[in-house]
Structure formats: structure tokens, C-alpha cells
Structure 1
Amino acid sequence: MTDAPPTIEATTRARALYDLGPTAIFASKADPRFHYCLYVPPSVGHRAKVDLLVAVHGTTRTSFLEFRDGFSEFGRWNDCAVLCPVFPVGARGDGARSGYKYMAEGDIRYDLVLLDMVAEVAAKYEQDWSRFAVFGYSGGGHFAHRMAILHPDRLWAASIGAPGSVTLLDPTRDWWVGVRDLQARFGVTFDAKALARVPVQMLVGDADLETWEITHQPGSTYWMEGANDAGRTRPERLQALADSFRAAGVTVQLDIVPGVSHDRMKVLGRVKEFLAGVLVEKRRG
């Protein structure tokens, strides 16, 4: 295999192999520390216009491939590409695992890293992905609901799965517990009206009750006053998040899944049903 100038036949075969269907893993042009892969419906090879779902991994990062493949059938039959970013552990060389969950880490703004990826793939595939859906589970659920808070105007849906900690829409507390200092921290003003236009699903298993990884302790990286106030378990914290969003005028579908612990693959069916329903309404105009 070489990177010599390809023939037309080689270009066509390479595009089918690496750029359509389940793709290769690519480095982001804007910041090569970060990577992504996609599922791209074959119809895109014939210049079809499709929607975009961004599916964000959890702390282990391994789920990015599970999500790409797990949503591939959904993407094929619902005309929807799937972008799976990879935010590796220790992007700043320090071994930190959780920076992407809170959107800012040193010089990195993970929300902007994602928007750069979306712009890159939209240009590559000649698509209008000015608005997309976001799904995340566990650590990805952290990212998904904070992306909705910071950039509601960029989303046509948000599915938020089992985040360990939540940002409530509390104007009396600073980030990440509340939203009082969004302008100073991120250069954005919380837009409740824009968020209210985004269909939101929140889901967690009713047996997802372990707390060892989600209880913040004084002196830990993300400790701040109020860090544990939303509840003790993931279901309690997600209920608090749903209540906070609803109080701001957001329509929230809250799914407490019976008999499921912290298992991302057991909730994907519900996510697909939600997103398929939103797509139907979106395409009606």
C-alpha cells in the first residue's frame, strides 16, 4: 500500500473501502490529537443528502467502534451518517481521563474540537450538517448534555445516557454544577429558547446504582461545592437533570430502563426509536 497519486479506478475503490460504510479512523485536521470514524450510508457515494448523528464514547473510549457499528443499520435505513469522535486519555500528556466530559481542559475546548470535526466531514461529503444530533452514554452522556447547553442551536436532537455528574440549569452556581459563568468561561450565553427547541431524551437503567466512580470528594479534580447535590446515583442525578431542563421549557423524554445496570448496548434500541421519531418530524418540515 502506498500513497502515490492514484488512478481513477484506485480512487473509486479506496473511497468505497475507507470513506463509505464503516470508515477508517481519521485524525482531525484542526487538531490531530483527536480522531474520529464514521458510518456513512452508501447512498452518499451517489451524492444523496443525509442527516448526521454524533455518538460520543464513555471513559474507556472503546465504545466509539461499538457505536459506529451499533448505529450502522439505523444510519443505512434512516439516511443518517454517524460520526464517532475519539477523545483519548491524556491528550495533554498528563493521563487525565475526564477532561472531555466537562468540555474544557487546559487549552482544549472539546465542544469546538467536535464542531471542527463536523465541519471537516460535512465538507468532505458535501453535506449540510449545520445541525446534527448528539448521543452519548456515561462519559458521553456528560458530553451530550453539556453540548446541548452550550450549543443548542447546532442540534436537532440530544440523547443523554447515564451521565455520572450533571450540569443543572442553575443561574446561581458556576460551571460545571450550574451555568452562571458560561459567558466568562465559554463565551456563550445560555439560550433557554434555543434549548427548548431541541427534542431531548434522557435514559438510564434502574439498576445503575453504583456510586464509587461518580461521588466527588474534596480535593479531587472536579470537586466543587454542590458537586453531589443532584443526587447519589445515576438515576437520581438524571431525574434532577430532567427536572432542570423541563423547568427551562425543554420537552424531555425520560426513560428509566427496567433491569439494566450500566450497560450502553442495552439502551441503543431505545435511542434509535427516539431518533427515528425525531427524524420523521424533522423531515416533515
Structure 2
Amino acid sequence: MTRAIVPASAFPAGHPGRDLLTARTPFLASRSDQRFSYALQLPSTYADDSDPLHVLVAVHGTGRRAERYLDAFADFGEQHGVAVLAPFFPAGISDPNDVHNYKFIAYDDIRFDLVLLAMLDEAATRWNLAVDRFALHGFSGGGQFSHRFLYLHPDRLSAVSIGAPGRVTLPDRNETWWKGVGDIEERFGLAWRPDVVASVPTQLVIGALDDRAQDLATVEPDGNGATRRQRLDRLAEHLRGIGCEPLVTVVPDVAHDAMGVLPVVRDFLAARVVSSLPERRPPAGS
């Protein structure tokens, strides 16, 4: 039996269901594929009858500590009136030893880009959110997912922040996925649109001390460098080649640390996303 999603607006103020579904939500199984789940951090200004909130999606790394992104962006969301959505993509889907599945978008019969888009649609059914375009941040494994998602769905992104990916996909038509984008039409059924990719405000961020070649010892050489910094520079070079102007941010005294780069990520998002949003209409009766 399929049950409909009950929107937050169905619960009056003070109802336990209202409390559960506003501020920090529980992780909810995605209706499209219950192997995956997501949670949100909603600002205190959230209202059912105001203009929809813009959404920031923050994608976890290999360690799957998704909830800490809700903590880390809680003040940002509160200050700027933005909802933060954190998806959770478990390790060990089909292969019990696999930890990389979501990073490459397609894994076995799973399309993780479509899983995320379904989560956003579900969230917009339950909460008053604008999900046609959203901001995206990911670090390490999340950085791998984020720049590949950019290539496939640039029209859905208001901005993207890509943090220290260990393996990069270049916007290169001479290489096939995942090293390049030469076959994305056949593989994903989506057109390669370099002009749209180039139009998305893009940050490439890494710690200045994130330069240990041994950290990538288990990752196959890909010709883009021996360290994350070298690979990020290579990605920046190729993005410039399609007309993109990425902001490359190297954070002093920070190694491979997702939380260590977040201050400059928040600054980027505030400058590129929040400043461009229209002023929100207050709730009725306020």
C-alpha cells in the first residue's frame, strides 16, 4: 500500500508532528528508493505560507557522516533563510565491501543523480521549498559527486562548491565516463551542455596541507596528478577551457578536513547564492 506524504502544513503549531518536521528533521527514507534517506535543517523563519525557501544540498564524504553537515550549516541556514538538505547514501549497496558507489553517479542499476532529484521533489511535497534550482556542496567523496552532478544537471544548480575530490572527471569529450564526458549521452541520456556548465558559479576548494600523495595510494592513477591539489588544479584548467571561471580557494593550515574548509564555502555560497535571491515575502498575517 502506497501512502501519501503528509505535508508539514497539515500539523498546527505546537503539534508534536509539527515539531518533528521543522528545525532538525529525522532522516527520512526516500519514497523513490528506500535504501537511501535524507534529513533537513530548516531555519526558524520557515513558514508554510511564505515564499518557498532556497535549498542547499550538502553531500557527505566516504565516511557517511551526513548529519554533521546539518550541524555545520545550521547557522548559515538560519542567517540567510536557507534550508539545508543532507542525503545519506549508505556503503555496501549490492557489494558489501563497496564504499564508493554514489561518487560516480551510476552504480549497478542505481542513478544517484536521480535519487537526489527525487529526494528534492519529495522534500518540496512535504515542505515549502523551491527545488527547481539549488546550491550544492560536497567534500572529498562528496566533491566527486558534486562536480559530476554539475556536468549532468547544470540547469538545476544555482551554484556548486567542489571540495578536494580524490578523482576528477574532466570536461573532456575525448575521454569516456568517468575520466571524461565523451559518452554521457549514451550512458545517462543527457546532453553535454558546456555553456550551461560554464554559467554555474563554481568554487574549487582545498586545504593548503592537503597534498599527501599517499592519501591516494588506493586510487588508480588517472594522469591528472599525484595529489588532490594537482588534480583540483587540472580540473580548474579544463573548466576554464569550456568558459567556466571557477573560484579556486586554498585554505591555509588545513589538511584534508571537510569542516576546516567550510568557512570559505559558506562565504562563497553567501556571495554567489544568497545575495542573488529575491527578498522573501513574509508569512500571511505577520
- Per the TM superposition, whether the score is higher than 0.5 is yes
Question: Any residues of structure 2 matched to 1:85-164 within 5 Å, and which?
Answer: 85-164=87-166
Deviation at 1:14, TM superposition (A): 2.5
Task: Give the direction of change, closer, same or farther, for the CA distance of 1:276–1:10 in structure 2 (3 Å limit).
Answer: closer
Deviation at 1:210? 2.5
Q: Distance in 2 between matches of 1:280 and 1:31?
A: 31
SS at match of 1:183: helix
CA apart distance, 1:280? 4.1
The alpha-carbon deviation at position 215 of structure 1 amounts to 4.3
Equivalent positions of 1:41-80 (< 5 A) are 41-48=43-50, 49-62=52-65, 64-80=66-82
Calculate percent identity across the aligned residue pairs.
39
CA offsets per residue over residues 192-235 of structure 1, 9 Å max, x none? 11112210001001211223353466xxxxx5xxx521111001
Normalised to the residue count of structure 1, the TM-score between the two structures is 0.89
Pair 1:35 & 2:29 matched: no
Counterpart secondary structure, 2:213: coil
Aligned length: 270
Provide the rounded CA distance (Å) in 1 between the counterparts of 2:23 and 2:83: 9
| Shift in alpha-carbon separation, 1:10–1:128, aligned structure 2, 3 A | closer
Q: Which has the higher contact order (CA 8 A, sep 6+)?
A: 2
- Rounded to whole Å, the distance in 2 between the matches of 1:269 and 1:244 is 26
Of 261, 266, 285 in structure 2, the residue corresponding to residue 267 of structure 1 is 261
CA distance in structure 2 between the partners assigned to 1:254 and 1:233 by the alignment: 16
- 1:241 correspondence with 2:235: yes
- Code of the residue aligned with 2:15 in structure 1: it is R
The answer to whether the 8 A contact 2:28-2:37 is kept is yes
Q: Which runs of 5+ in 2 are unaligned?
A: 1-9, 280-286
Given that 2:135 and 2:273 are in contact with CA atoms closer than 8 Å, whether structure 1 keeps it comes out as no
Distance 1:236 1:133 in 2: 25
The 8 Å contact of residues 11 and 17 in structure 2, kept in 1 or not, is answered as no
When residues 213 and 57 of structure 1 are mapped into structure 2, their CA distance, relative to the original with a 3 A threshold, is same
Instruction: Give the alignment's TM-score, normalised by structure 2.
Output: 0.89
Output the amino acid matched with 1:165.
R
Which blocks of at least 5 consecutive residues in structure 1 are unaligned?
1-7, 218-222
Other structure's SS at 1:42 match: coil
